[in-house]
Amino acid sequence: MTQTTWMDATAQAELVRTGQASPAELVDDAIERIERVNPQLHAVLRDRFDAARADARGELPAGPFRGVPMLLKDLGCHVAGDETNYGTSFLRDAGYRWPTDSYLARQFRAAGFVHLGRTNVPEFGTTITTEPVANPPARNPWNPEHSTGGSSGGSAAAVAAGLVPVAHAGDGGGSIRIPASECGVVGLKPTRARVSHGPDVGESWAGATIDGAITRTVRDAAAVLDAISTPMPGDPYVAPPFARPLADEVGAPVGRLRVGLLEATPGERYLDHPDCGAAVAAAGRLLEQIGCTVETGMPDGMFDEGFSRFFAATIAADTALTLSLLERSVLGREVADEELEPRNARYRAVGRTMTAADYLGARAYLGGWVRRMAAFWAPQELGGQGFDLLVTPTVATPPPELGWFGAAGPEEEGRRIGSFMPYTAQFNVTGQPAISLPLHWTEEGLPVGVQLVAAFGREDVLVRVAAALEEAAPWADRRPAVHA
């Protein structure tokens, strides 16, 4: 059989369609890679290898990725009869198995994917490094002493190291894009409500969270989103439909787009590494080469202090609610503060004391702030600035060493988390699609991503541009220090 380690999911699916490989062969190869490499990375927490082998040898759905192996993040995407522990010790120790499939799990299965296990996450996904107290830290394949990012850090490390071509990911403040940047892979955050949270959840984090995938290629990012973006009955709202499949946008003409390059420093409370600025400048030159009009610019409100404060309030309220629901419906007891990492104990404490007026006030502030931000992409005849894309660094520095966020204690941890992510959470709250592309590496060999942000509902623009940048500055041949 053809060597599949560095083939993307689209190519592996083509092997199955043409009879050059069987689903069982693809799954067996991926299991061998995980068993051999994962002990160095701790990207995969729990496997279901026997069940996956049985799935691959059974009747798989005839979806576009029939027989392709993948991994699911240990946060959301529940599968009936399987554990999903949210990076916590108390769910892990309870051994709770979820009673029903999420809609997303059904859609991954209908697409033909075979899931091999669960990937490492921080507790409740509320930080941007995958170093949970309950599990070993996920290690970056480019340098195992460095962070993978979070919260989809295990997924990003697994894809970057060649264990699987695709892994499920989710993004509430950057949790697809940040790990993609730190691990040198592709991370597409879809438009709000593009992927259903149902049936258990309507919206979370005030609509800021969204599921998607980590991939190595833009064509996989597009085709996977095509496969999982079906609106489901009862969803509180849905994203605008695509004019045609996203996969058809790969290789389509980019056109004369107007691109705003963010060159302003984010302010004293944020980090500002020169490699991140260099990555954006180089991306700007590439965009000019493919025919875009590039100029400096950024949305009004991009670095407003009020944004961070009120977004954190919605996270606190959601954390308190989530823990309350788990206590009542899963554990049958209260979770003690000592069972939570300090960050999440603080979120719960704040959420418990928040009044309804406090919460609605935070939502109201963010609603007004979103309208200011959206003007950057709005047509000039509607009073907007008329940009098609914004380009920023994905994060403020290259991947930090493991332990850096929490090294100076809980209070400093919060400041360090905030200082590291000036560019991503804004677009969870606005609901806009954004993608991180691996366009830059430091002299030390660490990846630095570049983020592209399009108007609400315009993943088509992102995919066309991202595919053109992938062709202009290909990354497929780069290999991390630890790989299959």
Cβ atoms of 196 and 40 closer than 8 Å: no
**What pLDDT, in 10s, does the model give residues 61-78?**
999 999 999 999 999 999
* Each residue's pLDDT tens digit, 77-91: 999 999 999 999 999
* Average pLDDT of span 37-48: 98
pLDDT value of residue 331: 96
C-alpha count within 13 angstroms, C-beta hemisphere, residue 447: 31
Are residues 471 and 405 in contact, defined by beta-carbon separation less than 8 angstroms? no
Per residue in 128-139, pLDDT (tens digit) is: 999 999 999 999
Choosing from 73, 181, 196, 419, which is the catalytic residue?
Answer: 73
Catalytic residue list contains 151: yes
Give dist(CA 418, CA 429) in Å, integer. 16
DSSP state of 450: E
**Residues 432, 453: Cα–Cα separation, whole Å:** 7
For 307-346, the DSSP string reads HHHHHHHHHHHHHHHHHHHHIIIIISSPPPGGGS-HHHHH
**What is the pLDDT confidence band of residue 267, given thresholds at 50, 70 and 90?**
confident
Q: Is 73 a residue of the active site? A: yes
Verify whether residue 175 is a known catalytic residue. yes
- pTM value is 0.98
Q: Which residues pair with 401 in a beta bridge?
A: 146
The whole-chain average pLDDT of the chain stands at: 97
Non-local (6+) Cβ contacts of 415 within 8 A are 269
Could you tell me what percent of the chain has a pLDDT over 70? 100
Burial of residue 310, with CB atoms counted within 10 A of its CB: 0-12 exposed, 13-18 middle, 19 or more buried: buried
Q: Which member of 102, 152, 155, 175 is catalytic?
A: 175
Please report the sign of the dihedral spanned by the C-alpha atoms of residue 278, residue 284, residue 285, residue 290. positive
Q: Tell me the two tokens of residue 99.
A: 């009673």
Cβ neighbourhood burial of 230 (10 Å; 0-12, 13-18, 19+): middle
Structural element, H or E, at residue 359:
helix 356-374
Q: Which DSSP state fits 135? A: S
Looking at residue 265, what is its pLDDT? 81
pLDDT digits (tens, 9 = 90+) for 197-256: 999 999 999 999 999 999 999 999 999 999 999 999 999 999 999 999 999 999 999 999
Phi (first) and psi of residue 304, to 5 degrees: -60, 130
Confidence of residue 407 (pLDDT cuts 50, 70, 90): very high
Per-residue model confidence as pLDDT tens digits over 296-345: 999 999 999 999 999 999 999 999 999 999 999 999 999 999 999 999 99
Whose structure tokens read 């409500």? 193
* DSSP string for 403-449: TTTTTT-HHHHHHHHHHH-SSSTHHHHS---EEEEEEEE-TTS-EEE
Nearest alpha carbon to residue 120 among 181, 162, 71, 50: 71
User: Pick from 253, 226, 248, 278: which is nearest to 398 by CA?
Assistant: 278
Name the active-site residue from 151, 152, 204, 436: 151
Question: What confidence category does residue 411 fall into, taking pLDDT thresholds of 50, 70 and 90?
Answer: confident
